Amino acid sequence: MQSLTLSSLCVMVLWIIQSAGVLFDLPLTYLGITPLSLRGLVGVMSAPLVHGSYEHLFNNTLPLIILGGALVYGYPKTRLKALAFSWLGSGIGVWLWGRPSVHVGASGVAHGLFFYLFVIAIMRRDARSVGLMMIAFFLYGGMVMTIFPRDPHISYEAHFFGAIGGTLAALLFGRQDPKPVVKQYQWEQSDEEDPIIGDAWQQHADDSGSATPSHHDDDPWRR
């Protein structure tokens, strides 16, 4: 619950920024990424903080809360590294190879978090990682396809390079978080025999298995 609360507070900051831009008519697009432009280079750090519209921000809100909450809950030692690689990977990739436009929004970061959860679960294969990955994939498995061009108004470049950043973070830091301790019950740890039954069941099985039918030559019904 705390992990979702923390991710929700972070997303709330994005809503405050968007509302301030609308209320005070602030030119937030200047904080976006303009590929291969010195002015647009600032957007590598600031572009995920601004969005083109409330609809744009709304579409990113739930993925950021859920994927961010899963990251905070499952990977306390590497969550900041995963976020940084997703953030910077998306921004730098768009600045170097993006289409000539102004790219804004946190969808690249969301894709990075999704691919981090996906790849790290394959690497670790513990119950917690697999469980978080299944939740993420069930809700946002479509992110596997949105890293490719589909809509000219959507920055698939941010999605693609964010996914690369999240994947690199998983490959580099995926084993730094300790795996959850598997609880063992007392009956699993004990090798002692039952004090009442003991090995009587084995003796009974041996007696049953060794029994052979006996035939008597004086059987009156034999001919």
| Other C-beta atoms lying within 10 Å of the C-beta of residue 178 | 9
The predicted structure's pLDDT at residue 220: 47
pLDDT confidence band for 69 (50 / 70 / 90): very high
Cβ-contact 112, 43 below 8 angstroms: no
- Check pLDDT > 90 for residue 158: yes
Distance between CA atoms of residues 137 and 41, nearest Å:
32
Instruction: Kindly report, residue by residue over 20-58, the tens digit of the pLDDT.
Output: 999 999 999 999 999 999 988 999 999 999 999 999 999
Instruction: Kindly report, residue by residue over 71-125, the tens digit of the pLDDT.
Output: 999 999 999 999 999 999 999 999 999 999 999 999 999 999 999 999 999 999 9
Least confident piece of the model among 145-159, 165-179, 207-221:
207-221
From first CA to last CA, the distance across the chain in angstroms is 84
Instruction: Kindly report, residue by residue over 134-154, the tens digit of the pLDDT.
Output: 999 999 999 999 999 989 889
Residue 158: phi and psi, rounded to 5, are: -65, -40
Distance between CA atoms of residues 160 and 116, nearest Å:
13
pLDDT confidence band for 223 (50 / 70 / 90): very low
